[in-house]
Amino acid sequence: MGSSIQNEILGMAWLQRLIGSLLMLCGLDINSQIGGSVLFFLYDTIKIMLLLGFLILIISYIQSFFPPERSKKLLGRFSGLGARIIAALLGTVLVVNEKVVSAGKVLKSKEILKVMK
């Protein structure tokens, strides 16, 4: 049961079968080199887009619980590398020694203005 769920849902075997069926309906042999290449390209492109969309949905949902005030309060407890890691995980802008750090990268003054908007 567990391997079935892993292969079908998480492994997206259903998507590969669906794309393979659609390509065969179009008259493309998926066992040939060109057919296999097209199948691989379409399957991986769709799979990556689905996974990225799901990841963005989950991250946006988590970030909705952390308004800027709550992030500042949480980051006030940490300093140094730990604060930078937590800021990167929260997707927030962190001020370290009067330099603005966004996801671990020190920003220049023009970039700071863009971030603050």
Nearest to 87 by CA among 108, 66, 111: 66
Residues 32 and 74 in one domain: no
Three-state DSSP at 6 gives helix
Last residue of a domain, one of 44, 63, 82: 63
Single-letter amino acid, residue 102 = S
Residues 52 and 84 in one domain: no
SS3 string, 56-75, reads: HHHHHHHHCCCCHHHHHHHH
Total of domains in the chain: 2
Domain membership of residue 38 as a residue range: 2-63
Confidence tier at 42 by pLDDT (50, 70, 90): very high
pTM across the whole model: 0.58
Tens-digit pLDDT profile for residues 71-113: 777 777 877 788 778 777 777 655 544 455 555 555 555 555 4
Last residue of a domain, one of 45, 63, 81: 63
Instruction: Please answer whether residues 75 and 83 qualify as being in contact, where contact means their C-beta atoms are separated by less than 8 angstroms.
Output: yes
Residue 98 confidence (pLDDT): 47
Q: How far apart are CA 17 and CA 23, in angstroms?
A: 10
Residues 9 and 55 in one domain: yes
